A and B are shown apart, each in its own frame.
Chain A
Amino acid sequence: MHTPTQTPTNSPTLLAAELRLPTNWLDYTLLGIYFVVVLGIGFAARRSVKTSLDFFLSGRSLPAWVTGLAFISANLAATEILGMAANSAQYGAYTVHWYWIGAIPAMVFLGLVMMPFYYGSKVRSVPEFLLLRFDKGAHLLSSILFAFAAILIAGVNLYALAIVVEALLGWPQWVAIVVAGFFVLAYITLGGLSSAIYNEVLQFFVILAALIPITVLSLKKVGGWDGLSDKLTQTHGDDFVTAWGGTGIGEANPLGANWLTIVLGLGFVLSFGYWTTNFAEVQRALSAKNLSAAQRTPLIAAFPKIFIVFLVMIPGLAAAALIPGFGTKESGYQYNDAIPYLMEGLLPNGVLGIAVTGLLAAFMAGMAANVSSFNTVFTTDIWAKYVVTDREDGYYVRFGRLITAIGVLASIGTAFLASSFSNIMSYLQTLFSFFNVPMFVVFIVGMFWKRASMKSGFWGLLAGTTAAMVNYFVFYKQDIISIPSDQGANFVSAIAGFVAGGVVMVAVSLFTAPKPTEELQGLVYGTRSPGMAEPPAPGDEAWYRKPALLGWGAIVLAAACYIPFSF
């Protein structure tokens, strides 16, 4: 999953104000070099943009390792890094669920089962797939919902960046927002998706270079894994360093979830909704050079995803072990402070600069992924299909650049909107339950049930989104039903959206005409389209490029990772 479950405090700041990092000229030099390279990628990618397909989908020509690393990087936004460390400091090793069961199965499903339909049908976006499978109503509604959500989420990333930069470096919030907004705007406007993806690949390695030293040093400080788990078992109880301890149905645990809700809620509804239908992710796979590379995109991403949990969980656990009462008011730290606290205490100048660069890179990756998917949907799905329909291709490239600028300016606006919410992490989760889950149910029904009619897509999407919003704004906010936390409410919203969407789709399908079978070729499970029959590219026969092997390998590896945390 993309976002943490919680931020436990009600304070409007994300980090404790005392966490000013002792940065010097050296750290700023390293940061400066990075920003120069980011812009350089934008300028260098510019000459590759000739058609709208180049601008929005990199001409469907990138190799699998590039799209795969961009896929994971788009997910590795800093809200994820800080939030998952916070999650670990609060809930302990339960964090692994967000990775091993809450991500890997959905990523493998996307690669092995769904990608032939996405890539093979040659659609340029997730809403365009709904246009082919259902009708214009479903298409326009999903495009508008997605564009709206993308701008809101880009704004959340921008705002989170601003408050982290303010706390760590002392820059005023508006400076950080404008600077980060400018760089993202510049490199996407210049080079389009290629530039966004190339920067994401670079960001992936910079983020690793930031997280690995923090993990190693924090583990050393607490006396290795044994020292860490001993200390936490003493202070937080036996279940804190296990994945499943205390998750029996009816047992109490800090997460407030049992194994069934973890498997079904996190592992199925929320996770599949995010990974398989969120265009900010799927777009990376659609830019791959052939079907095999597109299938391998989420599968290649799955392997780093399995191990990245250690780089966020260990610092979070270490922070919890090092400071008594970490996260409570008395300690002076919030859960989100875990990684910044360790950066401040452990990293000398030099590596500190790399770590700051990594954090900023992660924020920009999260924002850029949303902006680059927003401009694609707004241009190809809304503008080119319903507003200005018959212009030459060059017009849509120019329009795409313009709408990128407008999108970034709008995100700056939504960043200030996000600043009015006391808890931005749960705000983000709420957005996901409104927008991702209903989209997912429409997809899954449409892709596996031939009879789902043309009209059912629109009504299912509308019903699902409405149900999730009504649950949140009416039932939860007005205290009509009692839910202990925002996160609990988000989870119920997700289920409500899923069920309402599914039920309405079935009901509408029974009373309206199905789509003619010949128009469903390559869109519904069990059918094929010409795009799926392409011969393998030379070299793709190699065993390590077989999607099935990669996918099942990732599942087996994730399952094996559970073993040491289960007993």
Chain B
Amino acid sequence: MTENSDHSDRSANPDHPEHSARHGYSEKDVQREVTELEGKSATAARLFDIRRIIGGLFVIYGVIVTIVGLTDDDAAIDKAEGININLWTGLGMLLLGLFFLAWLKLRPTAPPPPDVDAGAAPGGGPTE
């Protein structure tokens, strides 16, 4: 193992983190590499909010299935043990969809955290 010599190289050469990170293999390398990538990461800023999609899909599903339930003939109801399962499932899905849309409205996506320099809280999160 030449790990020890790699370590001294790395501390002498902090300007080439990518290079040394792929040879040094210590926790410090991973920490630095990942922290650097976290700094450039675009997910937090650009990824849409999944609540909008869940809400939208379940409102659509809920409306369709509820309408089916309202227009179901006796055969469909008899099949489901006398329960209008389309109506109940439809209403349930509609409520779930509306819940997600309401949650999104009441607690909108937090604005992306401003870039923090490496010295401040590396875990991310909004800075005060």
Chain A residues with CB under 8 Å of chain B are 26, 29-30, 33-34, 37, 40-41, 44-45, 47-54, 58-62, 66, 121-124, 128, 131-132, 135-136, 194, 198, 201-202, 205, 209, 212-213, 216-217, 220-221, 289-291, 345-351, 354, 384-385, 389-390, 393, 454, 519, 521-523, 529-531, 534-535, 537-538
Known contacts A121-B31, A351-B89, A390-B22, A346 near B58 by CB under 8 Å: no
Subset of 14 A-B contacts with CB under 8 Å: A26-B68, A29-B64, A48-B43, A53-B40, A59-B43, A61-B47, A61-B124, A136-B25, A209-B93, A216-B83, A220-B83, A346-B81, A348-B75, A530-B122
Would A385 and B43 count as touching, CB distance under 8 A?
no
Would A347 and B30 count as touching, CB distance under 8 A?
no
Chain B residues with CB under 8 Å of chain A are 1, 18-19, 22-23, 25-27, 30-31, 34-35, 37-38, 40-48, 50, 53-54, 57-58, 60-61, 64-65, 68-69, 72, 75-77, 79-81, 83, 85-86, 88-90, 92-93, 96, 121-126, 128
Would B81 and A220 count as touching, CB distance under 8 A?
yes
Which residues of A are found within 8 Å of B69, using beta-carbon distances? Answer: 350
Would B41 and A50 count as touching, CB distance under 8 A?
yes
**Min CB gap A147→B, angstroms:** 19
Q: Which residue of A lies closest to B25 (CB)?
A: A131
Would A48 and B57 count as touching, CB distance under 8 A?
no
Would B85 and A351 count as touching, CB distance under 8 A?
yes
**Min CB gap A487→B, angstroms:** 35
Which residues of B are found within 8 Å of A529, using beta-carbon distances? Answer: 27, 31
Which residues of B are found within 8 Å of A50, using beta-carbon distances? Answer: 40-43, 46
Known contacts A44-B48, A221-B81, A121 near B124 by CB under 8 Å: no
Which residues of B are found within 8 Å of A26, using beta-carbon distances? Answer: 64, 68
**Min CB gap A131→B, angstroms:** 6
**Min CB gap B9→A, angstroms:** 15
Q: Which residue of B lies closest to A50 (CB)?
A: B42
Would A45 and B53 count as touching, CB distance under 8 A?
no
Question: Which of A122, A216, A393 touches B35 (beta carbons < 8 Å)?
Answer: A122
Would B37 and A132 count as touching, CB distance under 8 A?
no
Question: Which of A350, A390, A530, A531 touches B65 (beta carbons < 8 Å)?
Answer: A350
Interface SS of chain B: helix
Known contacts A121-B31, A209-B61, A59 near B44 by CB under 8 Å: yes
Which residues of A are found within 8 Å of B1, using beta-carbon distances? Answer: 135, 454
Would A348 and B72 count as touching, CB distance under 8 A?
yes
Which residues of A are found within 8 Å of B44, using beta-carbon distances? Answer: 59, 61, 289
Question: Which 5 residue pairs of A and B lie closest in terms of their CB atoms, listed nearest first?
Answer: A59-B43, A59-B41, A348-B76, A50-B42, A534-B123
A534 to B25, CA, bound (A): 23
A202 to B124, CA, bound (A): 26
Q: Which residue of B lies closest to A529 (CB)?
A: B27
Known contacts A198-B53, A209-B61, A354 near B46 by CB under 8 Å: no
Would A194 and B43 count as touching, CB distance under 8 A?
yes
Would B125 and A53 count as touching, CB distance under 8 A?
no
Would B43 and A348 count as touching, CB distance under 8 A?
no
Would B50 and A201 count as touching, CB distance under 8 A?
yes
Would A53 and B37 count as touching, CB distance under 8 A?
yes
Known contacts A26-B68, A59-B41, A346 near B25 by CB under 8 Å: no
Would A354 and B31 count as touching, CB distance under 8 A?
no
Would B50 and A66 count as touching, CB distance under 8 A?
yes
Would A530 and B86 count as touching, CB distance under 8 A?
no
Known contacts A54-B41, A390-B19, A33 near B61 by CB under 8 Å: yes
A198 to B35, CA, bound (A): 24
Would A37 and B125 count as touching, CB distance under 8 A?
no
Would A534 and B121 count as touching, CB distance under 8 A?
yes
9 further A-B contacts with Cβ under 8 Å, apart from A33-B61, A45-B48, A354-B89, are: A50-B40, A194-B47, A201-B50, A209-B93, A289-B125, A390-B22, A534-B122, A535-B123, A538-B128
Q: Which residue of B lies closest to A33 (CB)?
A: B60
A54 to B39, CA, bound (A): 11
Would B121 and A535 count as touching, CB distance under 8 A?
yes
A34 to B54, CA, bound (A): 11
Which residues of A are found within 8 Å of B54, using beta-carbon distances? Answer: 201-202, 205
Would A519 and B27 count as touching, CB distance under 8 A?
yes
Would A54 and B42 count as touching, CB distance under 8 A?
yes
Would A290 and B125 count as touching, CB distance under 8 A?
yes
Which residues of B are found within 8 Å of A48, using beta-carbon distances? Answer: 42-43, 45-48
Would B31 and A124 count as touching, CB distance under 8 A?
no
Q: Which residue of A lies closest to B30 (CB)?
A: A122
Would A351 and B86 count as touching, CB distance under 8 A?
yes
Q: Which residue of B lies closest to A55 (CB)?
A: B43
A256 to B22, CA, bound (A): 50
A61 to B26, CA, bound (A): 24
Which residues of B are found within 8 Å of A52, using beta-carbon distances? Answer: 37
**Min CB gap A268→B, angstroms:** 29
